[in-house]
Amino acid sequence: MPRLQQGVSLKPYNTFGIDVTSDWWYEIGKEADLLQLLSDNPVPRLPILVLGGGSNILFTQDFEGLVLKNNIPGIDVQEEGEDHVVLRVGSGVIWHDLVEFSLEKGWGGLENLSLIPGTVGAAPIQNIGAYGAELKDIFVSLEAIHLGTLSKQSFSLSDCRFGYRDSVFKREAKGKFMITNVSLRLSKNPVLNLSYGAIKQELEKLGITTPSVMDVGHTVMAIRNSKLPNPKQIGNAGSFFKNPVIPETAFSPLLSAYPQMPHFIQEDGIKIPAGWLIETAGWKGKSFNNCGVYPKQALVLVNYDGASGKDIIHLAHAIQESVFSIFGITLELEVNIH
C-alpha cells in the first residue's frame, strides 16, 4: 500500500545526483493510487511534480510540494495485425526495458532509441529522439489524468503537438497532467534507419550486412556506451541544451566565418550541433566547482562530485552567454529546471 512520506531526499532519484529534499513524496503503482491520494488528501493544493527516472531534471532548490514517483507497470498488446502491433505501455515502465522487449520480439521502431534513460511516461514530454528517430514516429495515443480536476483525458498524435524535443506538455499543458499510459505502433516488417551518425560504420566494422532490429539496437547501445557518461558514475542529464535551428540568413555569414561548421538542413531552418558551438567556444572538458563540461561530448554538463543545481545552472548560463557573444546564437535549455 503506498504511503505519503515527508521530507524525502531526491538525491537517488535524479541522474544529476543533486542533493535536495521534497516536502512530500508518494509512489504511484496504479492509476487508482493517484485518484485516491488526490481526492482524500489536502495535498492537491501543493505544487505537484511527477517524477519518472529523473534523467531530464535539474533541481536547483528543495521541492516545496508533493513529488509523485511514477511506477505504473505493464506492457500489453492492444492490437495486432499481419504487419504491425500496437502496445499499450504503463507510464512507469523503464524506457529501455520496453526497447529490449521489442528487440526480443523483432518488432521495429524503437531500435534507434535504445538506452535512453527514464520512463515511458516521460518520453512524450520532450518527444525523445536519437539517431534520426523520434517518439512521434511510432506514437499512437496516450492517457493522462489532469492533476487539478482528476479527469482522464486521451491525447492523439495531433493533440500532443510534437516538435523537436518539444510537445504540448512543455507548453500549455506543462505540469498539469500525469501521463498514465502510452500506446505505440511497432512494425513486424521493419524498415531500418541506418543513415544517422556512426550506425552504418559500426555495423560494417562488425561485418553485418543485413542487420536485424536487434543488431541495430546493440550497435546504438555500443556507440552510446562509448560516448556518454553513465549517470551511475558521473551525474548528468544527457544533452543540457537543444541543438539550435537557425534561419538561412543567419547561417550564411556564420558558414563563411566557420567553413568547417557541421550543419543539417531541416524543414524550418538549419540545425547546428550545440556541442560543436560549445566546443568551439572553448568549454569542452572545463570544470568549475565540482561540475563541468564532459570531455567526450560538450553538450553534456556533469556533476563530478557534490555540485549543487545552482553551480550547474551558473555554468549553463556562462556557456549560453559565451556562445551568444561568439556566434549570435541563443542556446535553449533541454533539461527541465525545478
Restricted to residues 175-194, the positions that interact with ligand FAD (CB under 6 A) are: 177-179
d(CA 167, CA 177): 13
Coil, helix or strand at residue 234: coil
**Of positions 128, 186, 323, 331, contacts ligand FAD by CB under 6 A:** 128
Residue at grid coordinates 526495458: 97
Selected catalytic residue, list 102, 141, 239, 308 = 239
Which residue intervals of 192-333 are DSSP H helices? 199-205, 213-227, 248-257, 274-280, 309-327
For residue 118, which amino acid is it? Answer: G
Question: Which residue do the cell numbers 500489453 mark?
Answer: 76
Q: Using CA atoms, how far apart are residues 91 and 114, in angstroms rounded to an integer?
A: 17
DSSP 11-28: GGGSTT----EEEEEEEE
118 forms part of the interface with ligand FAD (CB under 6 A): yes
Rounded to 10°, the helix 95-105/213-227 angle is: 150
Please, which of residues 54-83 interact with ligand FAD by CB under 6 A? 54-57, 70
Instruction: Answer yes or no: are the C-beta atoms of 269 and 276 closer than 8 Å.
Output: no
177 makes contact, choosing from ligand NAP, ligand FAD, none, with CB < 5 to 8 Å by partner type, with ligand FAD
Q: Any bridge partners for residue 264, and if so which?
A: 271
- Binding footprint of ligand FAD, residue count (CB under 6 A): 33
Angstrom distance (rounded) from CA 279 to CA 256:
19
Residue from the set 108, 109, 117, 292 that interacts with ligand FAD by CB under 6 A = 117
**In the complex, least distance from residue 226 CB atom to ligand NAP, rounded to whole angstroms:** 9
Task: Scan residues 271-290 and list those touching ligand NAP (CB under 6 A).
Answer: 271, 273, 275
User: Is 239 known to be catalytic?
Assistant: yes
* CB contact at 8 A, 15 and 312: no
**Inter-residue contact 168 to 157 (CB < 8 Å):** no
Which residue stretch of 15-23, 90-98, 180-188, 268-276 sits at the interface with ligand NAP (rule: CB under 6 A)?
268-276
165 has catalytic annotation: yes
Q: Which is nearer to ligand FAD, 103 or 237 (CB)?
A: 237
Q: Does 116 bind ligand FAD (CB under 6 A)?
A: yes
297 makes contact with ligand NAP (CB under 6 A): yes
Q: 90 phi and psi, to 5 degrees? A: -60, 140
Site string for ligand NAP, 218-237 (x = CB under 6 A): ---------xx---------
**Under rule CB under 6 A, which residues in 39-98 are in contact with ligand NAP?**
none
Residue selected from 197, 314, 322, 329 as contacting ligand NAP according to rule CB under 6 A: 197
**Contact by Cβ (8 Å): 128, 109:** no
Segment lying near ligand NAP (by CB under 6 A), choices 42-50, 124-132, 178-186, 277-285: 124-132
> Rounded CA gap, 112 and 97, in Å?
14
The binding site for ligand FAD (CB under 6 A) comprises: 15, 49-57, 70, 91, 116-119, 121-123, 125-126, 128-130, 177-179, 228, 231, 236-238, 336
The binding site for ligand NAP (CB under 6 A) comprises: 129-131, 195-197, 227-228, 238-239, 243, 264, 271, 273, 275, 297, 334
Which residues participate in catalysis according to the annotation?
Answer: 165, 239, 334
